[in-house]
Amino acid sequence: MELKLTDMPAVAESSEEMEHVKVLVLGAGPAGMSAALYAARAELNPVVLTGNELGGQASLTFSIENYPGFPEGVGGGELGDLFKKQAERFGARFEFDLASEVDLSSRPFHVKTYSREYLADSLIIATGASPNHLNVPREEELTGRGVSYCATCDGWFFKDKKVVVVGGGDSALEEAVFLTRYVKSVTIIHRRDAFRAGAILQHRARENAKIDFLLESVVTEIVGEEKVSGVKVKNVKTGEISNVETDGIFIFIGHTPNTELFKGQLEMDPKGIIVSDALMHTSVPGVFAAGEVMDKTYRQVVTSAGMGAAAAIEATRFLEREEVR
């Protein structure tokens, strides 16, 4: 289920509903739902604010074949539903709502949503990160139909096909090399004449016979009705437009963590990623982070789920220590 901000009710100037909870989870991707499961099994009755999308970015993947326990693969949306049902079985409550204001200056933490307010003894932030988009025609409509932001998730579906990769950083070249395990050919499209990726990655890409390069070029439009059939590319120096036939386009121009709500309240790196220790602790005691809001390395369903479990375990220990005091 997907909710849009425009579907949310207007924020009331003064909410009459104020609920005090032990654990409030922000986000319902793999990290958030795993956190909800573990917190529920600890009998903490967690409340999960799902945000815009139940299942997070994983829900956009047609089939996930690298999550343990599903040898035939599982749809991203289906996996999200299973996560939710399992957490609900132990007492987690999911609210299709979105946090609009957060105050972490004192405990219990104050969180205002589009319909009510919460006081939370502990907070688990699992709001994820959104892949940067090209914002060109047909990109949104063809997402999941040839437009992808994850080669590890979707590469197998392009076996023996032609694909393009957009980007010039480490992620773009790493994913391009990964895709050559499956695809017939990869064309890397980059707006500059040189890559930002490390020298070793550049060497690997250039030595790979399946990879071609289209530099000083940008994608201006994605072509296709039911699925991707090509892209229109513009040379940034000459302005010349060309058509490139392709079965898929993988976009790796960075991720933006969904952490705007917490700026000035939690320690973050220059890119807005929440700084946490190995135990998912943030700079504010009682606030924990899991998944892509703090993970700039793996960004996988299975690792996000593990981080969510760890965050919930640490939240449980934190609350137990507070009770002893």
Q: How far apart are CA 50 and CA 8, in angstroms?
A: 12
The catalytic position among 97, 103, 121, 153 is 153
Q: Which residues of 121-132 are buried (b: 16+ CB within 10 A; e: fewer)?
A: bbbbbbbbbbbe
97 belongs to the catalytic site:
no
Find the angle CA(285)-CA(97)-CA(93) to the nearest 5 degrees.
70
150 belongs to the catalytic site:
yes
Q: How far apart are CA 303 and CA 301, in angstroms?
A: 6
The catalytic position among 97, 121, 154, 295 is 154
Contacts of 181 (CB under 8 A, 6+ apart): 155
Task: Judge residue 258's burial from the number of C-beta atoms within 10 Å of its C-beta, 0-12 exposed, 13-18 middle, 19 or more buried.
Answer: buried
How many residues would you count in the chain?
A: 325
103 belongs to the catalytic site:
no
The conformation of residue 173, written as its DSSP 8-state character, comes to: H
Contacts of 225 (CB under 8 A, 6+ apart): none
122 backbone φψ class: left, alpha, beta (φ>0; ψ -120 to 50): beta
The catalytic position among 97, 121, 150, 247 is 150
Cα separation values, 217 from 143, 245, 310, Å: 22, 15, 43
Q: In what order do the strands lie in the sheet with 241-245?
A: 217-223, 230-235, 241-245
Find the angle CA(135)-CA(169)-CA(193) to the nearest 5 degrees.
85
| Active-site residue set | 150, 153-154
